[in-house]
Amino acid sequence: MAEAVFRAPKRKRKVYEHYESPFPIPFGQDHIPKKEFQVYHAEMMDNNVIVRNAEAIEQLYGKGYFGKGILSRSRPNFTISDPKLVAKWKDTRTSMPIITSKKYQRSVEWAAELLCRQGQEESAVHSILQDYTKPLEHPCLQREKETHLQGELNSGVDPNMEGPVGREKLSVMNGDSGESDEVENLSNQSAYPQEGSGQDAVTANGSDGLMVEGVAPLPHVPCGHHDDLILQHGSQPKDSWRTGLFSARESGSAHEYVLVEEVVSDVSMGKDAPSEESVQTKRLICRRNPYRIFEYLQLSLEEAFFLVYALGCLSIYYEEEPLTILKLWKAFAAVQPSFRTTYMAYHYFRSKGWVPKVGLKYGTDLLLYRKGPAFYHASYSVIIELIDDRFEGSLRRPFSWKSLAALSRVSVNVSKELMLCYLIKPSTMTDQEMESPECMKRIKVQEVILSRWVSSRERSDQDEL
């Protein structure tokens, strides 16, 4: 058997991020993990392990590329904003998502359907959604109008009229003396549309179980470029769970408020026009999102167990109770019968510096990446087999020559090498010993690179020699 030749990984053409760290734990100057680090929270749901906290998602994926977003291709960066609208309204300084009117109406329809399935009457559903989705004042856009109007007024004002005395003269000249306090109060009310509205945690139409979440006053944040007021999401306690109108989520940036591009009809009177003309313009209307969709990080069972067992930076809960390492080992094996075999190989390759990912799309158990999927294409497609040292017993995935040749051809066509990873256990190891992850200490690993022999290529190589 010839010795395999290592081939350099194929780097991707466009790389949009930089490499941070191989693991989501801090390292000291001596490249040794520090003793104190943050332990992240995950939960087991429907035979899957998910992470909800936004900070934990960023750390686990950004440092080691663990898991994937449930709504994204890989990195969990899903957003409901329309890219074309974001580019169109780029001058609008806001952190809120911008969506089309059609997309917003779809969210309203989903919310109505959900309420009807909960037993609400159609009239009550219409009343609830009509009150919940009513337009709100967007301070950013309002501030632009006020700044523009103030600029027009200041353009014709003497510079000596600055300061309190000048402002009094300006008020008298404009005929609005004594109204400045009222205007200020109105602007404050528009900037805080939810304050004192009487909608804080009240039931809608007396319906049982349907809770309208109280919206806190939205903070004012001055923009350094235009000095506009940006409407931001209200903050929530870090470890608390709050139930919204149609969603529940741990702390994080929830798109509760959105900007909807809607067609608004403006009625203008022309000097020469005998009748009124209706001109349709598109504006951004601030509304509450009735049906919010959240991005979570989904971990494979191998990734989740590695973070718990090997790194100790993750704690997995099931029905609000933390699961021990031994319970996780047994639970994951019950959910996925091949878990013990695939995890041993996963642990081995992670320890060697590779980033293993599920290889289902290429018909294998694992794909091995250097640094991560963002930087390189996968180098190896891995088939895993657990055997004893006497090479006896049935294989987990028996191959015929035809199926093996087909799998090898697929791997070559996608610029990957096919690797057979044999996990060799002692023949004296019992099934009871396999009930604990400590059995991995007695496992040996043998890697075999399978390559296709091409007669024409071999003849050309011989001719060159």
Q: How far apart are CA 370 and CA 352, in angstroms?
A: 10
Q: How far apart are CA 337 and CA 191, in angstroms?
A: 57
Pairing outcome for strands 354-358 and 40-45:
unpaired
Q: What is the largest CA-CA distance in the chain?
A: 102
Structure tokens at 429: 């190891």
Distances (CA, A) of 65 to 12, 68, 300, 350: 16, 8, 12, 11
Q: Which residue, 59, 346, 95, 62, is CA-closest to 219?
A: 95
List active site positions.
369, 377, 416
Backbone conformation region of residue 372, classed left if phi is above 0, alpha if psi is from -120 to 50, else beta: left
Q: How far apart are CA 262 and CA 128, in angstroms?
A: 21
Q: How far apart are CA 273 and CA 265, in angstroms?
A: 17
H-state helical runs in 47-158: 54-62, 83-88, 101-117, 122-132, 139-155
Packing angle, helices 180-191 and 139-155, rounded to 10: 150
DSSP of 396-459, one letter per residue?
A: SS---HHHHHHHHHHHHHTT-EEEEEEEEE-TT--TTGGGSGGGGGG-EEEEEEE----HHHHH
Q: Which helix (H) or strand (E) holds 330?
A: helix 325-335
| Angle, CA of 247, 248 and 249, to the nearest 5° | 130
Q: Which residue, 371, 261, 312, is CA-closest to 24?
A: 312
The number of beta carbons lying within 10 Å of the beta carbon of residue 318 is: 14
Structure tokens at 237: 């306690």
